[in-house]
Amino acid sequence: MSRLLDNLGWGAEQREAFRRLARDDWYPARICRETKINYGVMAEQRGVHEAVLAGKLWHEACTDAELPTVGDWVAIEPGDDRRIPVIRALLPRRNRFSRKIPGKSCAEQVIAANVDTVLVLTDALADFNPKRLERYLTLIRKSGAQPVVLVNKSDITPLQQVREVCRCISSLASPHEVEVHAVCALTLDGLPQCMIQLPAGHTVLVVGSSGVGKSTLVNSLLGEGKRETGGVNEVTGKGRHTTVARELVLLPGGGVLIDNPGMREVQMWTDAATLRAQFDDLAQLAMQCRYSDCSHRQDAGCAVRAALAAGKLSPERYEHFLRLDREIAELESRAEKRRMTLERVMRRTRRAVLRNRDDREDQSRDLAPHRKDISYPIE
Ligand SMILES: Nc1nc2c(ncn2[C@@H]2O[C@H](COP(=O)(O)OP(=O)(O)OP(=O)(O)O)[C@@H](O)[C@H]2O)c(=O)[nH]1
Ligand SMILES: [Mg+2]
Ligand SMILES: [Zn+2]
């Protein structure tokens, strides 16, 4: 296939899925932006352009997580003078990085699809929060992408502080190794060469709180002042340019970066299996507890607490182990509630649709010789 598609990460799986659609006039594209009404896509012939989602895809998606998002590969039907191109199919995802939608709902929000590496940016100053970082790492593990943590703004942070934070992050991630680098996003100091020159087709998602330097890093890697960052506007001397939408950009060397607005909430979108994997050393230990249903709190003969007392387990990690478990139990109970509500809504909708159809059939028998097809809201 083409050079551009290769650089964007077009692989054998996507090629095969696209071929199976067997529509000569359709072309493949990767989603680079998403607005409320339509999408920005990158494609071979047309470069970056707009496309709308076919109403059929919109209707067939049971949840928002099934709708195309930044990083997805799609098949597009070319438009003509009057119509903009239409996204006709979503190609299967290799993976996706998700979080729980902020607020009470327990629905999944897909942040980006088809991601190789997730870069979590933090600093060793006010932003550093080990609990939040642990959530990020759990979510990344669930996505199957490779996590890398960057401790940014090393140029304005005392060296000792940077070292301590790096050490703390490495201990959080155990038993799974995580790469940690102290960097300066302005100059790319400290960033490993393999990240400065990303392999063609490699997709990196950049996440972290607002103001931590995500867009600055993307800019420095792009090598041009293309994206807006939170600095003071040089002309007006005021105002912050904080990123408001996710965006996928292609680097000159062929790698792909996805910049992201700062996340205020990183809520768990995960399950018990992922939690267990994250803490499998503690799970092993828990098998030695006297009681099989040990809560690892006050129970007698608890091996986890014994390790804690012996200094073999850090108090932070022990706390995280207990808290994450509780959080997932809540998530699952909310998921169950939501499932029941959805079922109720669907039963009601189905009844309304059937009633409507009966009414329309009655009317069309009586009156109209021709009936228009029902049109979709987006197209
Ligand atoms: N000294 C120093 N300042 C930095 C560094 N990285 C980013 N900054 C500054 O931090 C501020 C915020 O940077 P942005 O790149 O806009 O942060 P962001 O993470 O994209 O923020 P949102 O778009 O709001 O999520 C800007 O004033 C940057 O110049 C760094 O390594 N060193
Ligand atoms: Mg930004
Ligand atoms: Zn125990």
How high is the pLDDT of residue 232? 45
Q: Is the CB of 140 under 6 A from ligand 1?
A: no
116: nearest Cα among 144, 137, 145? 145
Q: Is the CB of 246 under 6 A from ligand 1?
A: no
CATH topology of domain 271-379: Ribonucleotide Reductase Protein R1; domain 1 (1.10.40)
Q: Is the CB of 145 under 6 A from ligand 1?
A: no
Residue 112 and residue 101: Cα distance in Å, rounded?
14
Confidence of residue 230 (pLDDT cuts 50, 70, 90): low
pLDDT tops 50 at residue 373 = no
Confidence of residue 100 (pLDDT cuts 50, 70, 90): confident
CA of 302 relative to ligand 3 center, distance in Å: 4
**Domain boundaries in the chain?**
3-90, 96-259, 271-379
Closest-lying ligand 1 atom to the alpha carbon of residue 208: 19
Confidence of residue 69 (pLDDT cuts 50, 70, 90): very high
Domain 3-90: give its CATH superfamily: Nucleic acid-binding proteins (2.40.50.140)
CATH number of 96-259: 3.40.50.300
pTM for the predicted model, two decimal places: 0.72
Determine the average pLDDT of the residues in 157-166.
94
Pocket of ligand 1, candidates 216, 234, 257: which has the most ligand atoms within 8 Å of its Cβ, to mutate? 216
Residue 27 and residue 92: Cα distance in Å, rounded?
15
Q: Is the CB of 186 under 6 A from ligand 1?
A: yes
